[in-house]
Structure 1
């Protein structure tokens, strides 16, 4: 009887076994492999020499590695600042009384999400071209030739040029999160705020943002993870240059593996990057869970 009951309880879990196997093979195994091979002078396909913590000691003395985290910090802060644009777009959109116009404008704003990222990066690369690029051509047309420069080829402008890719930063996931959160706020709350004399800015700070705090935490989690995984645009436009001005941890790890063929060291870098990302994500998740638990306790 007990065995029959146990089988009935396990039966619903059986369809999940293929999914668990796939996730384990393509997600967990590479991560565990990085930790294992970080202790070796790893040569894929041939012999490997155990070196213990030597790769991690080398990392501590790697100036480029630590500089890449400085760039990552700039990218993270910039990503948070750009939340202003999708938030304002969502605020303006919910004020439209016509549902038809709301749908039309929302569609126009999220369509860019369907564009391949490499296409967007290459288009911006054309904008930045020092000889035929749109930016330098416009500066020449208005008599500001002195401001022309090699936007992605100068250490002084390369990083900010990468950050501006995608301007005005309205379309995409942040806009959808803000719009869905604001759209789910009952209209009666907005009407009550208006009766209390709150203007648009007052309502934004005292009503809208507190009521979408959950969405803000989700976005913060996604920005943290996305920042640590940043590297695609930099790889397409600058490959981490010039003079490591746009290097980020992901790019430096890839270069150590595929350019320098220093696979064991690259495994150590990837293991550290994975650990740091997991730690930041866990802090945000635990904080969110704690606040949710306190809210549930307050309601009880």
Structure 2
């Protein structure tokens, strides 16, 4: 009799997970696209069409409802010689620089808040600091306009009451003070996106890192420069680019408080565009200014996207 041994069964080939609901899975994306179709139509009608229509009209001497004449690049040539337009960008650069420097205040507030040991105290103070974000911008602008009033304003009355009446000014009506008055609206600048970003970033830093630094004798100032600030670098970079884009669209506060005056001291590109369109009735030139501002914003938005992608790829390689 021949002895036989049981051979191990042949290993079956490894198969990947069986696709489940193949036909059903293929149908879901089409249903999603169909559901998004109304949204795409609305965006095309109220967002993309006005934008591309403005670009198209910038090459015309545009008369809405009447015959328009094609003039090529004449509007753009005129824009290059528009002193008020370029003055508005100069004001905008000053507004941006002041806004970036003012980040010191919300950063300092976030550093103080995160050092509180009591979570309840952090919650209370955090709530008090960010509640002003819920106030409508129109209300804020009108309140500060009243504060700046040369006769009945709170600022001048307080100066007079403390014996500094000679310091009283027509804050929003004097070209020497108007832009500064506009910049200080919202002081001390804590209730905003920078504070939220700084505070959330500091909260996500592991406490063990702070404890190790304390054991090594690192004081609070050195910890800020060596630990806190480097770990916030990505957030600060993103905040910087967002501030550039937001500043290009700045105009709401200036329109309500000063309307671009006095003597164009607070003129910004958005206000210049509005004045050309609605006061000068020069719709083609206004479309040119709008197109230029749109292109600036698009270029900077593209830069933000590429910087964000490069940061993400660098972090992925580091991991």
- The CA RMSD measured in Å over matched residues stands at 1.7
d(CA) in 1 for partners of 2:38, 2:145: 42
SS in 2 for 1:44: coil
Gaps of 5+ in 1: none
- 1:1-300 aligned at under 5 Å gives the runs 7-299=27-319
d(CA) in 2 for partners of 1:128, 1:209: 36
SS in 2 for 1:139: helix
- Give the Å deviation of 1:5: 7.2
- Give the Å deviation of 1:188: 0.8
d(CA) in 2 for partners of 1:246, 1:165: 13
d(CA) in 2 for partners of 1:218, 1:13: 31
Gaps of 5+ in 2: 1-21
Higher gyration radius (CA): 2
Structure 1 residues 16 and 221, CA gap change in structure 2 (3 angstroms): farther
d(CA) in 1 for partners of 2:242, 2:186: 18
Question: How many correspondences in the alignment?
Answer: 298
Structure number with higher helix proportion: 1
SS in 1 for 2:293: helix
- Give the Å deviation of 1:3: 9.5
- Bigger shift: residues 12-21 or 268-277: 12-21
d(CA) in 1 for partners of 2:241, 2:89: 18
